[in-house]
Structure 1
Amino acid sequence: MKKVLVAIADGTEELEAVCIIDVLRRAGIEVTVASCMPADLLLITASRGVKIQADCHIKACVNQTYDLIVLPGGMPGAKHLYECQPLTELLQKQRSNKQWHAAICASPAVVLAQHGWLQGVKATCYPSFQDNLIGAQVDKTAAVVVDQDNKLVTSQGPGTALGFALALVEVLLGKEKVQSVAQPMIATYAA
């Protein structure tokens, strides 16, 4: 079974986080939702006031291996993710092992670009953050960008969250699995 880590924090965009978690679990993927807040807080308040209960704190994940690590966007959620040292270490390991990682909305710019991880990488993000994708090959129009060579999936924002989540299912489990997840949801997916 594929294992995915979804990192959340106060200010995370709830529509993105919940959509990602929901779609991956519908695909039969083991999803761990980890809080990146200090003091081991598991209950976060998302960007629109929705409360989300994490499965664990990110510190419990540092010795685990994941097939994919996903960063929802939202502000100041993305900033909290950027400042979270255990998450940074996990992402470093993920990149070194050439494993999939993904970010949506503000997170490609606020987390990945600020760590200097987008040099020569195909990416997108929330339109007002696109100028911050330093060194990336930015696609300003694509809702979802999959960079197979760098094992990175990025997307623009809340309205693209479903397509983003389905793209994550595709990179982990293939197109057939995407169709079996998308069809009962009445979701269209163009790979």
Structure 2
Amino acid sequence: MKKVAVVVAPGFEEGETLTIVDIMRRAHIQCDMFGFDKVVQGGHDIEVACDDVLSERVLDYDMIVLPGGYGGSRAMRDSDLMMDLLHQMNEKGKYICAMCAAPIVLERAGLLEGKNFTAYQGYDQKIHQGNYLEDKVVIDGQIVTSRGPATAYAFAYKLVDLLDGDSLAVKKRMIYFNAFDVKEDESYEACCCIDGEGI
């Protein structure tokens, strides 16, 4: 079974974090929350009990996901442990995913050099590595990025697909096509960019 580690840092964006974890688990993919502490408070004062505390155990996972939130993103960016883990996962060819403000963490790790990416609005002025795009989800090699809370669904579904899960079945159960006014055959064409090209 593929495994996903979602990092939960103080000030994390609750909607993004829990949407990602929820969709992964609905797709029957093991998804564990690794917190800076066992219980972490989000940017809107919602506390989450994590599965584990952030450590080198995430290196055994196939994918690491960094949700946004200003405070959470800054905490991850300023963490030397986080930098070490990202470098090691990058060397192992694992998926490294970030959304909203969290691509600033990838920038400090040097992982956006020569890469297409996206992030929260205005972050094209804050991040000076890579090539900023406005697609909802951008995939460049093993680096996957997304925009913000409203794109968390598209982001999570795409991560499911990258891990060979069945996102279509999950979308149907969650009435995604009814709620977001997208059709099954155009849902990814409208939202995704891979290596600079729409799909």
TM-score over 0.5 for the pair = yes
Q: 1:114 aligns with which of 82, 105, 108?
A: 108
Task: Please say if residues 72 and 104 of structure 1, whose CA atoms lie closer than 8 Å, have aligned partners that are also in contact.
Answer: yes
Number of the residue aligned with 2:124:
130
**Contact kept? 1:113, 1:132, Cα under 8 Å:** no
How far 1:60 sits from its partner (Å)? 5.9
Match of 1:61 among 57, 63, 67: 57
Percent identity over the alignment?
33
Q: In the alignment, which residue of structure 2 is the partner of 1:11?
A: 11
Letter in 1 for 2:139: V
- Equivalent position to 1:146, from 132, 139, 157: 139
Which of 61, 68, 78 aligns to 1:73? It is: 68
| Count of residues in Structure 1 that have an aligned counterpart in Structure 2 | 180
Large movers: runs of 4+ above 3 Å = none
Match of 1:105 in 2: 100
Q: Is the 8 A contact 2:56 2:85 kept in 1?
A: no
Structure 1 position 85, deviation (Å): 2.6
Q: How far is the alpha carbon of 1:65 from its aligned partner?
A: 1.3
Secondary structure of the equivalent of 1:129?
coil
Q: Quick one: distance in 1 between partners of 2:156 and 2:51?
A: 19
1:119–1:134 CA contact under 8 A, matched in 2: no
Give the deviation of 1:114 after TM superposition: 2.2
RMSD over aligned CA atoms reads 1.4
Instruction: Kindly state the Cα deviation for residue 131 of structure 1 after the two structures are TM-superposed.
Output: 1.9
Equivalent-residue separation in structure 2 for 1:49 and 1:60 (angstroms):
28
Maintained 8 Å contact 1:12/1:78: yes
* Structure 2 runs not aligned, ≥5 long: 178-183, 189-199
Identify the residue that residue 191 of structure 2 maps to in structure 1: none
TM-score by length of 1: 0.89
Which residue of 1 is the match for residue 172 of structure 2? Answer: 183
Matched, 1:87 2:82: yes
TM-score scaled by structure 2?
0.86
Compare the two structures and name the one with the higher helix fraction: 1
Give me the whole-angstrom Cα distance separating, in 2, the residues matched to 1:28 and 1:154. Answer: 22
- d(CA) in 1 for partners of 2:122 and 2:129? 17
Whole-Å Cα distance in 2 between the matches of residues 87 and 114 of structure 1?
10
User: After superposition, what is the alpha-carbon deviation per residue over 1:127-173, rounded to whole angstroms, capped at 9, x for unaligned?
Assistant: 1222223221211x2111111xx211100100111111011001111
